[in-house]
Amino acid sequence: MNLLIFFIVLTVSFIVVRIGAIAFQLTGLEWSLAKFQALSCFTGTGFTTRESELITRNIQRRRIASVLMVLGNAGLVSLIATFANSLRTDASGFNIPFLHLSSTAWLSPLVNLIVITVFVYVGYKIFTRTNISRKLTNLLRAKIINRGIIKRISFEELVISTGGYGVSSINICRNSPVADKALRDSNLREWDITVLAIERKRETIPNPSADTKILLDDTMICFGKLENIRARLCGVT
């Protein structure tokens, strides 16, 4: 029974971390960074000071991180408890779920450890490197978007530097305050935002002129204070 509980808790933990990564991605984080931060929040490890600015400065990400931390604490306690109980010697023998394998008591911890190791390895491969993982991720992402659980933000923060300045790659959506405006009319310079380039379909416009019009679905590469970029181009504070 302890083995079965361990497997269930571990599987649920994998899914929770994946949901957290999807949620972080929908708020604008790059996918690999979103996965790392979700795992960091869930396990309470590897959360670097520099990258933590991406989480702590955004209210949606703070909420996601808080949920992951709470669930992570509960999940890790359950995993440790069931793992320890699975390795206890049972004088009456042991039973592996679905296999009904019986043997002497002293073999129980060893066999359970082998089963756990194999399950963790197989689970890791399934959730990280197979078509099943991609299909599950796409399914979860669609559910989150359709139910409006996370407000999707179309920007990606690429660099964090001293004072909150950095480079952002931003997709211009319908509710963007600068959509259908020329750069000179967007007042971005007044907010100390420099447009480095505009990606439009397959074309890249480096160092665009003041007359360049910002169109729907353009991707703008900007340098400036990240909170100003979010506010002026995405309407997000």
61: buried, middle or exposed (CB in 10 Å: 19+, 13-18, 0-12)? Answer: buried
Q: Roughly what angle, to the nearest 10 degrees, separates helices 59-86 and 49-56?
A: 120
Around Cβ 183, how many Cβ atoms within 10 Å? 19
Residue 85's SS3 state is: helix
Q: Is the pLDDT of residue 233 over 90?
A: no
Q: Is the overall model pTM greater than 0.75, yes or no?
A: no
Q: Percent of the chain having pLDDT more than 90?
A: 9
Is residue 99 scored above 50 in pLDDT?
A: no
SS3 5: helix
Q: What are phi and psi of 196, to 5 degrees?
A: -85, -35
* Beta strands 155-157; 194-200: pairing state: unpaired
91 — pLDDT class (breaks 50, 70, 90) = very low
The conformational region for residue 90 under phi > 0 = left, psi -120 to 50 = alpha, else beta, is beta
Q: Per-residue confidence at 98, pLDDT binned at 50, 70, 90?
A: very low
CB distance 88 to 109 below 8 Å: yes
- Cβ 168 vs Cβ 222: under 8 Å: yes
Helix (H) or strand (E) holding 223: strand 219-225
Tell me what percent of the chain is helix, strand and coil, each rounded to the nearest 5.
55, 15, 30
Whether the pLDDT of residue 93 is over 50: the answer is no
Amino acid at 201: K
What's 155-234's CATH class? Answer: alpha beta
